[in-house]
Structure 1
Amino acid sequence: MLISSSNTEAKRCQHCNAEMAKLISKSERNLGRPYWKCFTTYGATRCSGYEWVTAANTPNESDIQNQVDVKDLNAYAEVIRILKAIHKILLLLLVISFLNLAVKLMKK
């Protein structure tokens, strides 16, 4: 999750000197830990620059408030998956109803 890309906190990549983005780790091992990531690409090649935020650069209160718990994100993703499944079922029922009506009209 991107928490900052402002120029006031900008950090330069040690590999390509491009501006890095500040992110929050979603991995189980480093959950919630902030880090810097370079997104520069050179054709098909992507810069692999990243650096963990040091204790001196820990996120401020507003950054912490803007973080979304990964469990919440997983719950939202599950709700969206269920809603998509319901949507597919409703569309299928609509098609079946339409076909039923068409068959009844043809018999008349």
Structure 2
Amino acid sequence: MIETCWHLSEAYPSFRLRDWAHMLGYGGHFSTKSRRYSTTLGAMRADRAQHRADEARAFHGLPPLPEGPVDKVGSWHVIGTGYKFSSEETWAETIREQRRHPRTA
């Protein structure tokens, strides 16, 4: 078919078949983009993601997720930084020291 595209490009240069020979002469998008006639790429991605999630849950012995909409977290907010009390800082320093110098049995 590739060779046929090359031969036809000599007879019909305006079609630019030689440029698209390795796509068998088709110069359009590789998949459908129609919203009415066929499925959309977004729908295929969503179905694939759902299928893979179901497979993973079944593999780990978890029940399937319930049908319906899923709430998504759209934003994150900082509610604070650092330690609130000096005792927290003391505990953090104690833990760091213990990790730095672990005891051997």
TM-score (norm 1): 0.29
Give the number of the structure whose alpha-carbon radius of gyration is greater.
2
Q: In proportion to residue count, which structure has more strand?
A: 1
TM-score (norm 2): 0.30
